[in-house]
Amino acid sequence: MSDLSQVVLLGLDQAELSSLVESVGEPAYRAKQLREAVYRQRVESIEGITTLPQQLRIKLAEKGISIGLPRIERRFVSQDGTVRYLIGFADGQSVETVWMPEGDGGEAGDGSEAGELAERFADLSPSGAEARLEKGEPFAALKHCATQKRGQKQGQNQGRSTICISSQVGCAVDCQFCLTALLGAKRNLTAGEIVGQVCAVLKDQQVSPPQDRINLVFMGQGEPFLNYENFVKAARLLVEEVGIAERRMTVSTAGIVPRIHDFGGEKIRPKLAISLNASSDELRTRLMPLNKKWNLEMLMAAARAYPLRSREWITFEYVLLGTVNDGPENAKEVVELLRGMRCKVNLIALNPGPGIDFTTPGEERVAGFQTILRESGIPAFVRRPRGRDIYAACGQLKRTVEIATAPAL
């Protein structure tokens, strides 16, 4: 590293930190001290790295090297305990990051019914849940099987807390039911800015993986697969440096088909979730314009070709819009799309917001949709709306500062 004046430590991996240490004439073990300070201790300044000699701290600061931990500009706390953070970066841009102390009913490992069942399924033998599902065994039997495992684990930390992080400032995908789409696309986040959100929230919540089990979902602002290289590097840093288990991470994509193929070959990769949201090309193109480029045939082919690891499932997310995509005929079409796949479905009743021209379906329509999927052998879960009153729920992230309570269901 020749020019150190713009070097930000947050986002550098082991090799890059070793190169930095070598360039300033320090012994190799200093790289480990920097890694520990940046990713585990989450210090805010070079001066705060007290494991380094003072003279070295002064030298690094004089060279313009910085930590790069983003600042928490605003905090919004929901009545359900969810916290929405407005996270600011050096260039004045900001994104939102959400802390959910009990998850939202979505991803494996988030402490919800869906998450807890999936975690227990993972503890079964290879002839367990997945094999039984593939043989057509009713979902209720799998739930009973997984629930039996729960009794064997009582008293352990259930790891319910989830952090939802952003990968871009704004979003270019333009899903018609999502508030983030109204922001447009501003820029990609660096790997350090993605990891920095997690570090800032962990520091604020006073939790430290791996001692504290934390779940992580790349489901905030932006499409991670349109910022692929930075997302992949961030995921690697979160596993290797921050200490969050790979199996406790999930990334959601709107369906960037070439990157789904690429992602299957990554050495370190979170679990995959695909935003489906429609049962036909005509409807999906209306709701998600990117379907014009990568239609359902292409998307389903990529999903079926995705190399699932042992005891891994693909998640399909489906936002239910009142009288638009939530009818029995839609559910039956989804069943046909997913037939034979090792997958589960997360159903999300629309979280409302200003500028969104759709309505939230009633509980009976949501339940009816779920029943059709489950009776066809597809595990289906309804995600709880977490932080809806502070615009922190799925599809509501739009840097909203003036809070007006959203309608309750």
Residues labelled as active-site residues? 96, 394
Helix ranges (DSSP H) in 241-309: 257-263, 281-287, 296-305
Taking a C-beta distance cutoff of 8 angstroms, is the pair 130, 194 a contact?
no
Location of structure tokens 């931990």: 69
CA angle 151, 157, 159 (to 5 degrees): 110
- Which amino acid would we find at residue 42? R
List the Cα angle 368/372/378 in 5-degree steps. 130
Q: What interhelical angle do 328-338 and 363-375 show, nearest 10?
A: 30
Cβ-contact 249, 315 below 8 angstroms: no
Tokens encoding 173:
């995908």
Hey, is 147 helix, strand or coil? helix
End-to-end Cα separation, the chain, in angstroms = 55
The whole-angstrom separation of Cα 3 and Cα 20 is: 10
Residues 6+ apart with CB under 8 A from 128: 121, 145
Determine the residue type at 152.
Q
Bridge partners of residue 404, in order along the sequence? none
